[in-house]
Amino acid sequence: MVRAWSMWVSCLLATLLMGTAGAVGSGAGAAALTAGTPAMAALPMGQPVLAAETVSSPALTTYPREAPAPAPGQTPGRTPGPSAFLSPKSPAAPGSPLPACPETGLRRISGDRQVLFEGGVSEPVVVHLTDASGTPIVGERLHLLVGHCPAKAAAVGFDPPALVTDAQGQASFSIGVSVPGEYVVIVQRTADPTQIVKVELTVYDSSWLMFLLFGLAGGLGMFLYGMTLGAEGLQKIAGRRMKAILGAFTSSTWLGILTGVVVTAITQSSSATTVMLVGFVNASLMTLPQTLSVIMGANIGTTFTVQLIAFDISHWALLLIGVGFALKQSSNRTTSYAGDITLGFGLIFYGMKVMSTAMSPLRSFPAFKELLISISHYPITAILGSMLFTSLIQSSGATIGLIVVFAGQGLISLDSAIPLILGAHIGTCITGWIAALGASLPAKKTALLNVVYNMLGTVIFLPFLYDWASFADLVAWCSAPFGATPAREVANAHMLSATLKVVALLPFYDRIIALTEWLLPEPGKPEEQPLRTKFLSEELLRTPELALGNVAREIARMAGHVEVMMHGVPALISYAHDAHIEDLTLREQKVDFLRLQITRYLSRLSENTLTAEQTATMMQYMNVINDLEGLADMIYKVILPCSKVKKAGELRFSEEGFRELMKMFDAVNAVFLKAINGFATHDLHLIEQVLASEPVIAQMEEELRASHMKRVFAHRDQSVQTSTLHLDLLSTLKNIHSQAVKIARALAPHDPAPSAAVASPSS
């Protein structure tokens, strides 16, 4: 894909250079002005060239600034410069209005508004001279005047240096320049000085293309960073609200569409919304049919950003950057996040200004303008090119932002812009595909669903990209009452196309889901993967609030494995079967695996900019998973070996001793269940009960230890034989309780002092 895009760019640059090659090196005087072209005469600003005076000039001639001999009818001592032909209110500069040439008399045929590089020679400029009856005037001399040139330009060269009309009444000449800037050359009749034609040239520095690429790259970088910064600020302010919004789209399709609009307006990127959907489906929090409505809404939501950037407020960009930076220094988190948003929008608008300035010279390149105009004649090629470009930068907003800049500079028409917009809709789907790599099959289907929807929407619009049923006419008609600029028309086309896609494809909602299922069918029964996470989605790392929510779900899974291990403790104390031991071993491996994966996930999450609350939550989760893993280790590394020793030695606890161990286990297990339920439900009452149980369990352990020792001193055989195992189990159960208390302590906002007045933990 990268190779295809590079080839496309190469073709574009080749077209640019080929279109200007003739302007740089063609004509009779193709050598640079400074090389001393023999046939080229150089003229200071405001000086006329008289054919009789220069026709025999053998080499480069620089005319003195003093006035030459007056032409017929001219006042002696006065040089017929531009002021002789222009109104005082119309300075001699590029684009200045000049008197219109009549159909008869002197008129220009070709050669105006050329672009060339410094030291280059223009394509021939052709003028035509006729009398009042339209008959060509043969053999009349024409003056050449420099109406405007850069201050550093000492002279302008012409080839030939003298103009005389031929048998068809035509005369042609080329212009040589050596200094970049804007030039105006005026052709004047000798017989009637009021008849003139104006020729404009734009000359660029030889390194202009490099600066264009630098400006485009830098402006695009600022634009993308501004979008990222603004989106992060919005997500930090609306993180919890966004999480609640995303949990509410199961009610109806229309609510799902609204959810997609709102969430994408917050994230400023339909790609980001799609990535979140992939993560939710991968975490089994959503089903495939639920995601399509959100995808539809996301395509509409992303148009609001483009509508915003279509406003020509780039002159406020630096102010927004300054205000945003000042707000970011605030100690108030909300104000600091507002600074991120303001600074982000400032960078967006300033980046667009940089791109607009860098690309403005392209208006003067006929080859480039013709290339863009031809896009409307080859819409499928334009769609593919835009799709590839958007895939590379992974932002449809940036692509359409560039289209807005093109339209604002007059480089592209609405007809040519629409295929590029449709291509950007498809190209942005690549981000979802990247997010789905290595994810579950439903997550891959979600990414494919986004592609299918946007491709179907593009196919619907294909018949309306041609003149006989032009979608551009509809956009122009809708925009006309508001006096929309070309940039605004592009933004309106983006919004209208996204909205019409929803209207057109909504009746086929189930069919689109079925098509996606058919394209990516379910394979046979999947192989069991015992060691894998379920809720840790890489795609949600950019949204810390949602990522932390999924971490909590993964910790709850981990706690579920520990709970199963706890439920197996009575069997271990009584008599452990091989199948039970195998299951316990697998559970312990899963707990270790989940602790490692959750730790790595939180470590990666910490690389983002987190709020103080999010950082505290992350530290809580780190403590909880470590305590859970420690609890599982006690079961696997202490209780299980005790069970194996008991089984190997064919030992049996006394009836009283077994009942006491079960009493201790029941009390500890009840506390453990309260701890993990308190974590899952955020029930502070349960957490307080766990913290208050510490002295109760400590006292119970002492009483049961003393009771056991009485049986040992009474020389009860079973008690004597199992004494070491019995005491080890009591100590381990107490330590398990301590781990549960540590979990509760990590979750408690404050650690209340233990109170013996609290009821027994088994209550």
Quickly tell me which residue has 């672009």 as its tokens.
115
3-class secondary structure, 1: coil
Helices (H), 146-252: 208-237, 239-246
Strand order in the sheet with 141-148: 114-117, 196-204, 181-189, 141-148, 163-164
Tokens describing residue 528: 């069991």
Q: What is the pLDDT of residue 107?
A: 85
CA angle, 523 as apex, 518 and 524 as ends, to 5°?
135
571: Cα separation from own chain's centroid: 56
Instruction: Kindly report, residue by residue over 461-506, the tens digit of the pLDDT.
Output: 888 887 666 788 888 888 888 777 888 888 889 899 999 999 999 9
3-class secondary structure, 157: strand
| Contact present, 561 and 594 (Cβ < 8 Å) | yes
| Contact present, 515 and 449 (Cβ < 8 Å) | no
| Contact present, 709 and 727 (Cβ < 8 Å) | no
* Pairing verdict, β 196-204 and 114-117: parallel
pLDDT at 126 over 90: yes
Is the peptide bond preceding residue 160 cis, with omega within 30 degrees of 0?
yes
Kindly state the percentage of the chain with pLDDT values over 70.
76
pLDDT band at 171 (very low <50, low <70, confident <90, very high): very high
Q: What is the pLDDT of residue 366?
A: 66
Instruction: Kindly report, residue by residue over 400-442, the tens digit of the pLDDT.
Output: 888 888 887 777 888 888 898 998 888 888 777 776 666 667 7
Q: Of the candidates 382, 379, 351, 397, which has an alpha carbon nearest to the alpha carbon of residue 491?
A: 397
CA–CA distance, 188 with 439 (Å, rounded to integer): 74
| Contact present, 358 and 2 (Cβ < 8 Å) | no
Q: What is the pLDDT of residue 523?
A: 67
- Torsion, Cα 337 342 343 347, to 10 degrees, reads 140
Q: What is the pLDDT of residue 248?
A: 56
User: Which string of b and e fits 702-737 if b means at least 16 CB within 10 Å?
Assistant: eebbeebeebbeeebebbebbbebbebbbebbbbbb
**Cβ-based neighbour number of residue 423 at 10 Å:** 27
What are the angstrom distances between the C-alpha of 441 and each of 20, 517, 600?
Answer: 52, 10, 24
| Contact present, 742 and 628 (Cβ < 8 Å) | no
Q: What are phi and psi of 339, to 5 degrees?
A: -65, -40
Residues comprising the chain, all counted:
763
Q: What is the CA radius of gyration of the chain?
A: 40
Instruction: Kindly report, residue by residue over 637-663, the tens digit of the pLDDT.
Output: 888 888 777 777 777 777 887 888 888
Helix axes 2-25, 366-374, angle to 10 degrees: 140
Instruction: Kindly report, residue by residue over 392-410, the tens digit of the pLDDT.
Output: 777 777 788 888 888 877 7
551-556 long-range Cβ contacts below 8 angstroms, 24+ apart: 551/598, 551/601, 551/602, 551/605, 551/618, 551/621, 552/621, 552/679, 552/680, 553/283, 554/594, 554/597, 554/598, 554/601, 555/598, 555/621, 555/624, 555/625, 555/628, 555/679, 556/676, 556/679, 556/680
Which has the higher per-residue pLDDT, 308 or 514?
514
Q: What is the pLDDT of residue 456?
A: 92
Instruction: Kindly report, residue by residue over 521-551, the tens digit of the pLDDT.
Output: 876 544 445 578 888 877 778 778 878 888 9
What are the angstrom distances between the C-alpha of 408 and each of 421, 485, 486?
Answer: 15, 8, 6
With 0-12 / 13-18 / 19 or more C-beta atoms within 10 angstroms meaning exposed / middle / buried, residue 251 is: exposed
Q: What is the pLDDT of residue 247?
A: 56
**Cβ-based neighbour number of residue 410 at 10 Å:** 12
* Pairing verdict, β 141-148 and 181-189: antiparallel
Which has the higher per-residue pLDDT, 746 or 397?
746
pLDDT at 66 over 50: no
Cβ contacts of residue 468 below 8 Å, gap of 6+?
none
Tell me the mean pLDDT in the region 23-47: 38
CA–CA distance, 735 with 631 (Å, rounded to integer): 8
Instruction: Kindly report, residue by residue over 566-609, the tens digit of the pLDDT.
Output: 888 888 887 767 777 888 888 888 999 999 999 988 888 888 77
| Amino acid occupying residue 272 | A
Quickly tell me which residue has 């000449």 as its tokens.
173
Lowest-confidence segment of 161-165, 324-328, 331-335, 440-444 by average pLDDT: 440-444
pLDDT at 223 over 60: yes
Q: What is the pLDDT of residue 48?
A: 40
What are the angstrom distances between the C-alpha of 134 and each of 26, 106, 131, 139, 189?
Answer: 32, 11, 5, 16, 16
DSSP string, 516-564: HHHHS---SSPPP-SS--SS--GGGGGSHHHHHHHHHHHHHHHHHHHHH
pLDDT at 64 over 90: no
Cβ contacts of residue 377 below 8 Å, gap of 6+?
none
Kindly state the percentage of the chain with pLDDT values over 90.
7
CA–CA distance, 255 with 249 (Å, rounded to integer): 6
CA–CA distance, 45 with 59 (Å, rounded to integer): 19
Number of continuous H segments (helices) and E segments (strands) in the chain? 29, 11
**Cβ-based neighbour number of residue 216 at 10 Å:** 16
Phi-psi sector, 179: left (phi>0), alpha (psi -120 to 50), beta: beta
